[in-house]
Amino acid sequence: MATRTVVIAVDGSERADAALSWYLEHLHKPENDVVLAHAPPEPSAAITFTGMYTAGPIPIDTWKQVVEEHKASVKKLQEKYQAACQGKLEKVKWVVKVRRDSAGEEIIKVAEEEKADMIVMGSRGLGTIRRTILGSVSDYVLHHSKVPVIVYTTH
C-alpha cells in the first residue's frame, strides 16, 4: 500500500476538532502519514489583538510575557491534539508555522513542504458576503492548493 501524507489544519476551534474527528473516523488508513498543521499569528500580532500595545516601543517585559503566553498556548494546543490522536494514529507529525502571512498561505506552504496528498480542514461557515469582505482560510486553501482539499462543515 502506498503511503499518503494528509495535512490536517488545526487551530483549537470546534470546527477543526470536528474535521480531525471526521478524518479519523471516515478516511484514515494505518499507512497514512498525518501532519497536524497549526498557523498561529506571530507574537507581535498577539499584542495588538489583546490590546496590550497602543503605540511606541514595546517594553521588554511585556514582549517576554507575550512570547511566553504564545509558546504556552501552542504547547497546550499540541497536547490537546496529541491526546485526541493517541491510539488512533501511528504516524503523526506536529508542524507549527508562526504566520506572518495569512493562515491559508501557511497551510499551503506546509502542504507543499510535506508533499501532502490531501488537506483536511474545518470551516467557520462564513456567509458569502462576510467571506468576500473578510476572506476565508478554507476558501483561500481551496483556491490555491495543488492537492485535493476536504473542508468539513456542519450546518
The ranges assigned to domains in the chain are 5-152
What would the mean pLDDT of 125-147 be, rounded to a whole number? 73
Helices vs. strands in the chain: H and E counts, helices first: 6, 5
Please tell me the distance from the alpha carbon of residue 80 to that of residue 51, in angstroms, as a whole number: 27
pTM: 0.79
Top-level CATH class of 5-152? alpha beta
pLDDT per residue over 65-103, tens digit each?
888 888 888 889 888 888 888 878 776 777 777 766 788
Query: Residue 21: left if φ>0, alpha if ψ -120 to 50, beta else—which one?
Result: alpha
Here the cell at position 31 is 499507512
Three-state secondary structure call for residue 29: coil
Residue 134 has pLDDT above 60, yes or no: no
97 closest CA partner among 17, 34, 9: 9
Q: Render pLDDT for 10-58 as a digit per residue (tens, 0 to 9).
A: 988 888 999 999 999 999 988 888 999 988 877 765 555 455 555 566 7
Q: How far apart are the first and last CA of the chain?
A: 35
